[in-house]
Amino acid sequence: MLGVVLCLGMLPLLPTITGCAGDRTHQSTGEAIDDHGISMRVKDALSNDAEYKYEGVNVVTFKGDVQLSGFVDTHAQKSRADSIAKGIEGVKDVEDNITVKE
């Protein structure tokens, strides 16, 4: 009887316990923290690039996949931003949606 009472008492906690798990379209808490770190490393690498500055580029990361968006002046800048992002630890893939201003 005590086991049944304990099990029933734990039911309200079940969504809380399982609520931290991620799936295909939702991040777990750990994934969100990791993705934030990846985004910060990509942004830092872009801003510290010796050749170009990327003030107009936005970085969003979801489950290790990085999306670059925004504007640059040349195709060389777009290509370089893509290469920089791909070289960052933890990046699985890069979706380059940067637009070249022409």
pLDDT at 51: 84
Q: What is the pLDDT of residues 17-29, one digit of tens each?
A: 445 565 667 878 8
Q: Report CA dihedral (12, 18, 19, 25) to the nearest 10 degrees.
A: -140
Q: Give residue-wise pLDDT tens across range 62-81.
A: 999 999 999 999 999 999 99
Task: Classify residue 33 by burial, with Cβ atoms within 10 Å: 0-12, 13-18, 19+.
Answer: exposed
Q: Examine the pLDDT at 3 and tell me if it is beyond 70.
A: no
The class of domain 27-100 in CATH terms is alpha beta
- Local confidence band at 46 (pLDDT 50, 70, 90 cut-offs): very high
47 has a pLDDT exceeding 60: yes
What residue segments make up the domains of the chain, in order of their start? 27-100
Exposed / middle / buried, residue 93 (Cβ in 10 Å: 0-12, 13-18, 19+): exposed
